[in-house]
Amino acid sequence: MTLGLIVPQLLNGLQYGVLLFLLAAGLTLVFGIMSFIN
C-alpha cells in the first residue's frame, strides 16, 4: 500500500471514532439529564 492510501484511511478512521465518541457523550448527557430509570 502506498502512503497516499494509508493517510486518508487513517483520517477516515479517526473521523469515525470522533463521531462515535460525540454521539455516545451526547446520548449520555441527554439520558443523564432526563434521569431515565433503567
What was the pLDDT predicted at 8? 95
CA distance 14 to 28: 21
DSSP, collapsed to helix, strand or coil, labels residue 35 as coil
What was the pLDDT predicted at 7? 95
Grid coordinates standing for 8?
486518508
Residue with cell 431515565: 36
What was the pLDDT predicted at 37? 65
pLDDT < 50 positions in the chain: none
Grid coordinates standing for 32?
443523564
What was the pLDDT predicted at 5? 93
State the Cα torsion 30-33-36-38 to the nearest 10°. 80
Q: How far, rounded to the nearest angstrom, does the alpha carbon of residue 33 sit from its chain's CA centroid?
A: 21
